[in-house]
Copies of this chain bind each other. A is one copy, B any other.
Amino acid sequence: MEQDIITLTPAQERLAQMLKALGNPVRFQIMQTLAERQTCITQEIVETTPLAQSTVSQHLKVLREAGLIRGEIEGPATCYCVDPDGVRWLKDQIEGWLPDCCNEPAPMMWQPERLTTR
């Protein structure tokens, strides 16, 4: 499973994996919670969401596999925190991405969609 239609470099693949992990609203929020609180047990994270414990555990696994968080067993619980190396790597990759355009800040007005006609 997970057939590759397209081939990316390992770094690109990893970056895409991170972006995909963060593209989910639940996981995006978990990252923020974790960043605010520095460190959290699974149960605490569960309590910040309306989701079942098993579901949150799944999301944590995705974030772990993407290298965005790390979990360490602390007695009977698992203690999660943001993986600073992973996040730093992500930020660097994004900043260096598409260097041929978009390197000066610009004010930004957002419209939902465009395509001049048709």
Residues 14-54 (chain A) with a chain B CB within 8 angstroms: 14-17, 19-26, 28-29, 31-32, 35-36, 38, 49-51
A6 and B20 contact, CB distance less than 8 A:
no
1/0 per residue A72-116: CB within 8 Å of B? 110000100010111111111011011011111110101011111
For the side of the interface on A, what is the size category? 35 or more
Assembly CA distance A100 to B87 (angstroms): 12
Interface residues of A (CB under 8 A from B): 4-6, 8, 12-17, 19-26, 28-29, 31-32, 35-36, 38, 49-51, 64-65, 67, 70-73, 78, 82, 84-92, 94-95, 97-98, 100-106, 108, 110, 112-118
